[in-house]
Structure 1
């Protein structure tokens, strides 16, 4: 259902009178005290949205739908091919479970403003735990289940939670990961003392709260099932719109953790606006975000966005391939009547690598799928073309960050069905004043690549600050170009206003004085029919300073000599970019190292090939991929000199 108003006029309204625009958008939320002021700029460059308002996010996600008579509607579908379980939870059931979990946390001493760390796999209790914290006005910080003890300890010391909520373990397609020993280790490493650890036992994973009662002096261990069953459901606690809802630590953090702080009010408004206008999802629609609740995508569009909108959300505990095969996504779309799928380009590339012609999609009914949205990693035109041809539905690239919490740029499906362009996440959304500037902050011409920046104030739902770090937030994001937020990405705008995000500014390489985007080279390599996925990194060169090196993963069933492939890739780059790119070599590898959200670890690979010291980010999906790159670097050193 597209809006009667076109996108251009919506953006124009948001620029002409932003306060009125966002106060009108706030009408989609149920407030305890409705806002009369949109934004407080008295402490610029720090801004606060809806400073005079009060609400409860959990109430907006659950209670109001039940009170409206929709308690029997499905709120959440749990689909886990790794434990062979599927279950539907109504809004009434979720409200009861969240209320009791909030009562359990209250019994553990948690009050508004306290922090709770959630260290869980993709299971319904993770969603319940997040909403239970929101119900109390407590601040949750979700840490990936299975995260290393040292990294967990650093987050405990930074957030200083009163409680940890966890499960006995997580289940991967090829292994079981026990969580409780890691928690014990983290508690020993951390200076901060956690008062209570609450454990949800999983029958597939050994370990229980009772077994660790004496392992950590000063910390008590509770059983989730018994404590939550016996708890008295807790009513929603009214909080200020500016109070924090959650802390989310950015991926790849080294040293002191960098916790993005999301508020309650601005976040709720942004979720409601984006669900309706970006994704065209409303009451009763099914949205499946194939991510993890540990990522910002999972926070926004597995948990809060769909439930605030009164939709049905799918919680999928599995992989795009291997659980059991590359047809898993098509099965879920068919079985649960998914209207909108949101996933990462990496997931599509994995499916394409395993099933290049999408033969496993045959036999599944994908007719109810309205659109697929992609984010998390740059979507190369070749993957976009493949997916579009397969689905015969809009495949919509959109661009956002952990810090922004929702899309900076997108084609807004709920407003207008705009033409899509390969390689572009389309247009900046209302509130995001995007510009392309050079190193001096001067705007560059159309089609010229530069730093992507966003005018302040950022719209509702974006980060309010960093946890315990206002000055760090200013120094990290707001000081390079005063009055603007530095995204850390490079790109360009075409003459029609479409944005093209080419990669992190760290991925711009300098070849004999020429600044070149590795993203443009990756786009070319991905066009080769033998290439399933690729990355280009700049490696040290005594003559030119840096030279580009392609790392390519072959599509399944491909038979081509490496020397022939490299020659063809070099020719393609030379033809489309020119000799200035100095692209002369590539290495075939079996896998590229990525974070769990699908971001390719280009910096780490560059350090490995340069022979520099490197740190493997704790968010890496599979450490074996690092070994692949180390071996490739060792084998290639002599040839690449």
Structure 2
């Protein structure tokens, strides 16, 4: 499964394109299957339908837990590093993790969960979060992890969309110096959720919480009354494993569905190859399990590979800006995977936070969430890697399930800010706006993928047409990524940014429509339009243009009120960085907002706005430019 040289990569890539079924069947043999598959691949991109390892039966937890608990029971599976560095780290070995997952799976059973039920998980980054995810998988329940920073309204939308039967949460959470009322937020969400029968609450902060008789139970009490024996449910390779909600262009989050077999194979294969994981390496991914990176590269990929995975509850700047480097020093981390936002933030604090830390254990550095800019790449390479650690700048998406284009550590020659080459099985193409393929090197276009890979999105929960319309309708017979891309003279790929109505904030994709819906719910707001603009730390920030019933008498106070509304409806992550009050928006005569113009103003580049004569009211553009102080 592991590629070790550039020649092996070339050979594997060639085989994966010429005989994809033979290639992936070979990779899949390395996992635990209860029954073999009858057919490796069935697919149709036109009427979107993809099935991998058809007829194969498995349970992903047997590959992640049972086989390692049998062969290396005392090896660490998860090392948990708490928010506060004065608190003790916790190590869960493979045998202990299997026991705790089995026990909690029995708790879920006791509380009415059966195969196919949906379970919402809203928790901080504590070991119980990983245990809850794996316990759902063991029973064949479909988990829907909601990021711990989302609001009650956002949680309710996700619970209602998938009709979750149980919610798993904590009394509270700590993140840096903030205390977050997790159970209270869940209680607020459940006012409008009729499908939820039980709430299981783990203790983290000893925050006083409301516990409703017959509905709410304590995790710690429940596990006392169950055994540690829970046979893994037999699942079909194409049964859903989890739903993960991502921002949609309609304003309603869409539930991306990944299935058991193909996702397991691809997440593990990419983990082992991109990071060149060696047995015994300590691997530290700083993502939150509320996002796809945490699913694929903290939980499923590393554990299926028998790795040692570090899980961190806190933030990189608490108690000071040396926290990541302390963790690397303390646990002798070999592979470190983080986001450009974190790297850019830590660059600004200066060398005093890392100069005295022992980072010599590092072998590989990784970047995820958005393309890493050259300045951050060089700092990461020189200051953290000391010029000795390859940087794997990984490009992939929630919908792809795993890394798609990336260097393989110590194998692929890297270029700052380039994702470089596709992984075996990935067939990227660049197309123009009409869908014509742009061949050759030294070209730019819209990035599509022309052949399925095992962890490709299967559907959007409850709305398959939306999946087809979003990903497979723009360019016939291809998966459209929504990203623009450059292919250089060497055939290396560089992602140039979103070409659809999605903003990439700190590596998290937020739909413009979702933010606009939240803004428009604020009293007095008539209409709004949001665009992305360059942000020194986040990569992209959110710039909001807002029309009010009347111009605010106290603009700064109104801005604060509007930000509170967005926080309540979506969560703090979606708050605009800039708000400009305007009397009108640049619209065509058919009513379409010309975001291109708004983007130019937000970027402070109004030198070439193109033809604005087709606008309903061209004069509004001058007013917006003037209002922006340009």
Q: Matched residues in 2 for 1:247 and 1:394: separation?
A: 33
Structure 2 counterpart of 1:10? 12
- Counterpart CA distance in 1 for 2:628 and 2:251 is 36
Deviations 1:329-369 (A, max 9, x none): 111111112111111000000101222xx232122221221
Q: State the match for 1:340 in structure 2.
A: 335
Q: 1:473 aligns with which of 452, 467, 475?
A: 467
Per-residue CA distance 1:152-211 (angstroms, 9 max, x = gap) = 111111111111100011112232111122211111123x32010000022x24134xx3
Aligned partner of 1:111 in structure 2 is 114
TM-score (norm 2): 0.81
SS where residue 180 of structure 1 aligns? helix
Aligned to 1:605: 543
Please list the CA deviations of residues 25-78 of structure 1 after superposition, one character each: whole Å capped at 9, or x if unmatched: 10121100122421122785210110110111111111111122x111101101
Number of the residue aligned with 2:261: 265
**Maintained 8 Å contact 1:289/1:314:** yes
Instruction: Indicate which of 82, 93, 96 corresponds to 1:93.
Output: 96
Residues 1:440 and 2:439 are matched in the alignment = no
Find the residue that maps to 2:168 and give its secondary structure: strand
Aligned to 1:378: 371
- Aligned 1:39-58 pairs, distance under 5 A: 39-41=41-43, 44-58=47-61
Aligned pairs for 1:35-184 (under 5 A) are 35-41=37-43, 44-68=47-71, 70-82=72-84, 84-184=87-187
1:250 to 243, 246, 258: 246
On the 8 A contact 1:146/1:178 being kept in 2, the answer is: no
Query: Is contact 2:267-2:296 (8 Å) kept?
Result: yes
Shift of 1:117: 0.5
Q: For 1:285-324, list aligned pairs within 5 A.
A: 285-321=281-317, 323-324=318-319
1:229 alignment partner in structure 2: 224
Question: Which whole-Å deviations, capped at 9, do the CAs of 1:276-335 have from their partners, x for residues lacking one?
Answer: 2111114322111101000000000111111100011001011122x1122111111111
The residue aligned with 2:629 is 640
Taking a change above 3 Å as real, the CA distance of residues 371 and 21 of structure 1, as seen in their structure-2 partners, is: same
In 2, Cα distance between equivalents of 1:302 and 1:75: 10
Is the CA contact (8 Å cut-off) linking 1:199 and 1:221 kept in structure 2?
A: yes
Kept in 1: contact 2:544–2:576 (CA 8 A): no
Q: Is the CA contact 1:158–1:257 (under 8 Å) kept in the aligned structure 2?
A: no
Aligned equivalent of 1:429: 423
Aligned to 1:27: 29
CA distance in 2, matches of 1:480, 1:254: 16
The separation in 1 between residues aligned to 2:52 and 2:312, in whole angstroms, is 33
What's the CA shift for 1:453? 0.6
Q: Distance in 2 between matches of 1:46 and 1:244?
A: 14
Question: In structure 2, how many angstroms separate the alpha carbons of the residues matched to 1:402 and 1:549?
Answer: 20
Retained in 2: the 8 A contact 1:178–1:205?
A: no
What is the rounded CA distance, in whole Å, between the counterparts of 2:160 and 2:66 in structure 1?
34
The residue number in structure 1 matching 2:522 is none
Say if 1:173 and 1:466 are closer, same or farther in 2 by CA, change over 3 A: same
Query: Structure 1 residues 2 and 452, CA, compared in 2 at 3 Å: closer, same or farther?
Result: closer
Q: Conserved in 2, the CA contact under 8 Å of 1:146 and 1:170?
A: no
The offset of 1:636, in angstroms, is 8.9
C-alpha contact 1:117 1:163 (8 A) present in aligned 2:
yes
Q: Is the 8 A contact 1:493 1:500 kept in 2?
A: yes
**Equivalence map 1:183-222=2 (5 Å):** 183-190=186-193, 192-202=194-204, 204-208=205-209, 211-214=210-213, 220-222=215-217
Instruction: Quote the Cα distance in structure 2 between the aligned partners of 1:54 and 1:260.
Output: 22
- Work out the CA distance in 2 between the residues paired with 1:133 and 1:508: 31
Conserved in 1, the CA contact under 8 Å of 2:371 and 2:418? no
The DSSP-based 3-state class of the residue aligned with 1:411 is: coil
How far apart, in 2, do the equivalents of 1:428 and 1:28 lie? 22
- Describe the SS at the equivalent of 1:444: coil
Unaligned runs of 5+ in 2: 504-530, 552-558, 582-600, 603-622
Instruction: Deviation per CA, 1:201-231: give whole Å up to 9, x if none.
Output: 22x24134xx3215xxxx6111100101321
Equivalent of 2:399, from 398, 403, 410?
Answer: 403
1:444 positional shift: 2.5
Preserved CA contact (<8 Å) 2:119 2:144: yes
Deviations 1:100-152 (A, max 9, x none): 00000001111111110000000000000000000001100000124211111
TM-score by length of 1: 0.79
Alpha-carbon distance in 1 for matches of 2:162, 2:544: 32
Q: Structure 1 residues 18, 228: CA separation in 2 closer, same or farther (over 3 Å shift)?
A: same
Does residue 453 of structure 1 match 2:448?
yes
SS in 1 for 2:221: helix
Q: Distance between the aligned counterparts of 1:201 and 1:254, measured in 2?
A: 37
Match of 1:492 in 2: 486
Matched-pair contact (CA < 8 Å) for 1:176–1:205 = no
CA RMSD of aligned residues (A): 2.9
Gaps in structure 1 of 5+ consecutive residues: 510-547, 554-591
Tell me, yes or no, if the aligned pair for 2:190 and 2:196 is still in contact at 8 Å. yes
**Pairing 1:324-363 to 2, within 5 Å after superposition:** 324-355=319-350, 358-363=351-356
**1:463 maps to which residue?**
457
Q: Using the TM superposition, give the Cα deviation of residue 607 of structure 1 relative to its aligned residue in structure 2, in angstroms.
A: 3.9
Q: In the aligned structure 1, how far is the partner of 2:167 from the partner of 2:83?
A: 27
User: How far 1:608 sits from its partner (Å)?
Assistant: 6.1
For the structure 1 residues 502 and 206, does the alpha-carbon distance in structure 2 shift closer, same or farther, using more than 3 Å as the test?
A: same
What's the counterpart of residue 569 of structure 1? Answer: none
Q: Cα distance 1:105–1:265, how it changes in 2: closer, same or farther (>3 A)?
A: same
